[in-house]
């Protein structure tokens, strides 16, 4: 069982329009609604890959009930979300069908009280000993301490459970100091953390700051990995066009599934890159084009070197 944590869950709403123009009215051609937030996207991809997964985090109000109702339809997924008084946020993605570009609008999320945060920490502590890996994903809702992820990392590591961290800003800075097993930033987040715009140097610096392994997302160029076992770069055969929302979350799912299956790093990276690209080709976040994934998996290029023992 893999545990994903989404403290700022969401209802993801995707609108498709023929062409997005500022200051104009638009006729929407298609609307889709899905449970959202990075950890829930990760969980749905993991479930589609055949892994059992538990989701936790916060949920509240009518929007939160809609999220939970839709989670019940996902085979292999267990809902362990913790209720709060405030309403779960919505995220709006507007896809321009002409250009393929996506415009994203993200609400801040509910304000979490100290009592609600304490209830979550207790629930999380009960879940961790029974899982094989933990993914801590996404932004912190208002009211949650900025060092929250650092504390959750320490709880998991005390139980001997490996932890992946995928967040940004000060939550990332505090979290990396708690020594997560895997850090999965994108290029901008990595640069903000380390002050370096050179990805290889930045991944090495992030490891010095505490992360055991750093897997940096380079967008269409794939992934760059710096681990105790070696350094690799993994890239798709060709860039893909589509909706990139959720592509990074699918990469996280690939890394976690590879960890759970004890795959070597090059195989984990190939899976993560193929899933990420196949998600760009899917209509909404948290899903991937399975046929494209299987075709891409055989064609991902992984280059690098293994560290000396």
Query: Residue 266: which of 212, 242, 302 has the closest Cα?
Result: 302
Q: Phi/psi at 13 (nearest 5 deg)?
A: -115, 125
- The neighbour count for residue 24, using CB atoms within 10 Å, is 8
Q: 200 by DSSP, 3-state: which?
A: helix
By annotation, the residues acting in catalysis are 249
Query: Residue 230: which of 255, 256, 205, 264 has the closest Cα?
Result: 264
Q: Which two tokens stand for residue 234?
A: 């993994």
Q: 88 by DSSP, 3-state: which?
A: coil
- The neighbour count for residue 33, using CB atoms within 10 Å, is 14
Per-residue pLDDT of the chain (309 residues; tens, 9 = 90+): 999 999 999 999 989 999 999 999 999 999 989 999 999 999 999 999 999 999 999 999 999 999 999 999 999 999 999 999 999 999 998 989 888 788 989 999 999 999 999 999 999 999 999 999 999 999 999 999 999 999 999 999 999 999 999 999 999 999 999 999 999 999 999 999 999 999 989 999 999 999 999 999 998 899 999 999 999 999 999 888 877 878 999 999 999 999 999 999 999 999 999 999 999 988 665 689 899 999 999 999 999 976 644
Helix (H) or strand (E) holding 293: helix 290-297
């Amino acid at each position: 069982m893999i545990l994903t944590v989404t403290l700022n869950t969401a209802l993801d709403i995707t609108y498709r329009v023929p062409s997005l123009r500022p200051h104009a009215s638009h006729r929407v051609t298609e609307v889709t609604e899905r449970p959202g937030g990075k950890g829930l996207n990760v969980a749905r991809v993991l479930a589609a890959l055949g892994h059992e997964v538990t989701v936790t985090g916060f949920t509240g109000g009518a929007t939160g009930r809609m999220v939970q109702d839709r989670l019940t339809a996902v085979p292999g997924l267990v809902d362990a979300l913790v209720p709060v008084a405030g309403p779960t946020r919505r995220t709006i993605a507007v896809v321009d069908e002409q250009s393929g570009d996506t415009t994203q609008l993200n609400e801040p999320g509910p304000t979490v009280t100290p009592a609600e945060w304490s209830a979550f920490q207790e629930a999380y502590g009960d879940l961790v000993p029974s899982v094989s890996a933990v993914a801590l994903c996404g932004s912190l809702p208002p009211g949650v301490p900025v060092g929250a992820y650092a504390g959750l990392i320490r709880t998991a590591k005390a139980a001997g459970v490996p932890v992946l961290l995928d967040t940004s800003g000060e939550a990332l800075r505090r979290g990396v100091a708690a020594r997560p097993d895997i850090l999965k930033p994108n290029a901008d987040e990595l640069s903000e953390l380390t002050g370096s715009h050179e990805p290889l140097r930045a991944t090495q610096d992030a490891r010095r700051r505490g992360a055991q392994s750093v897997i940096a997302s380079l967008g269409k160029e794939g992934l760059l990995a710096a681990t105790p076992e070696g350094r690799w770069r993994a890239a798709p055969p060709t860039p893909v066009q589509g909706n990139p929302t959720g592509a990074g979350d699918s990469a996280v799912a690939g890394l976690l599934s590879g960890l759970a299956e004890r795959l070597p790093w090059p195989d984990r990276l190939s899976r993560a890159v193929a899933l990420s690209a196949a998600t760009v080709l899917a209509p909404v976040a948290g899903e991937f084009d399975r046929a494209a994934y299987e075709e891409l998996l055989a064609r991902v290029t992984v280059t690098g070197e293994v560290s000396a023992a």
